[in-house]
Copies of this chain bind each other. A is one copy, B any other.
Amino acid sequence: MVKKIRYAIGIDLGGTSIKLGIVTDEGKIIKKNSVATMAEKGPDSIISQIKKGIKELLEGNKLKINGIGVGCPGVVSTKKGTVENPPNLPGWGKVNLVKILEKATGAAVFVENDANAAAIGEYIFGAGKKYNSFVMITLGTGVGGGIILKRKIYRGDFGAAGEIGHITIDYKGPKCNCGSYGCIETYIGNSYLVERVKKELNGKQSVIKELVHGNLNLLTPKIINEAAGSGDEFAEEVVREMGVYLGAALASLSNALDIGVFIIGGGVSGFGKPLFEAIEENARARVLTPLRKRIKVFPAKLRNDAGIKGASALVFYK
C-alpha cells in the first residue's frame, strides 16, 4: 500500500518578508514563495499579505492541505491563537491570527513562537526525531530556545519558557540587553560576539583582518568560522571559547532538567565540527556524573527554510 502523503502550509512571519511553503509530512517543501511584510503598514496590511501569499501558493494545484502553521516572534498564546507585539512588527498590538486565518482559509491554523516552532520542526522532521526530550538553541542576533520535554513542547505556565539565551554564566558578567548580567547571549549572540572579537583582535595577528579587507565593520560570525577553518589560531581560540560559554550554560540546564540532548541551529550552526565538539566537551565536563554519557550536542538538520518547515511542523505535531 502506498503511504498517503499529507501536506501543510508553513508560514515564517518575519519583519521584512513572509516566507511560505507547502510542506509534506516528511518535511519536504514542494512549493514555496515569499511576499513583502511591509511591517510599517500595520497588521491589516500584513494579514492581507499573508492571505495573498497563501493564495499564490495554492494556485495551480489541488492539494488537500491539512492545516496552516505560523511561526513568529513575540508572545504567542497557542490556546487563544493570539500573537502579541512581535518585536519586528511595530504597532502590531495583539492579533488573533488563528481566528482571522481560519476564517479566511477554512483550514485549521496553528501559531507558535518562532523558537518553539524551530524546536518542533527538529522534533518532527529533523535532528530531534529520535529523542523524547531535548533543547533546541537558535543562535542568531539573540539566542533563542525551545524545550521538548517528554515528546511535548514545554511552554511554561504563561508561554514564556525556553529563554535559554538568558541563562547567566557569570553573575558579574557583561550587561545584557535584558537588564541582567552575564547572560549567555552576551557571549555568543551575533552582535555581542562580533563586538568582542573586534576588541580582542586589537594588536593580534589573524587572517580575519584580511578576510574583512582591513574593515572590521564587515566582521560576521561566518568570517570567524571561515578563519577558524583555515587554521587561524586566534579564530580557533574564539571558537573554543564559544564552547566554554555555551557548554557552561547547557550544563546548568542539563543538571536542572536531566536533559542530555542539545540541538543548535541558526546562523552559527553553519560553524563546523570544532564548535560542536567544544560545546559538547565543556558541557560534559561540567554536568553531574550520571548525565555525562548522555550529553550530545549537534547541529540542527533544518537549515534553509527552517522557518517554513518549523511552522509547517505545527500542523503535524498537533
Contacts and interface: CB of A to CB of B under 8 A. Distances in A.
Interface of A: 75, 132-133, 145, 147, 149-150, 154-164, 166-172, 178-182, 244-245, 248-249, 251-253, 255-259, 285-291, 294
Contact of A163 (B160, B179, B255): B255
Contacts of A251: 166, 168, 180
Contact of A145 (B160, B164, B178, B256): B256
B157 A252 contact: no
B169 A170 contact: yes
**A179, A255, A259: which has the most chain B beta carbons within 10 Å?**
A255
A111 to B, nearest CB: 18
A132 B157 CA distance: 8
24 contacts: A132-B157, A133-B157, A149-B154, A154-B257, A156-B258, A157-B259, A160-B288, A162-B258, A163-B255, A163-B288, A164-B255, A164-B256, A166-B287, A168-B252, A168-B286, A169-B170, A169-B171, A170-B171, A171-B244, A178-B289, A180-B286, A181-B286, A252-B252, A253-B256
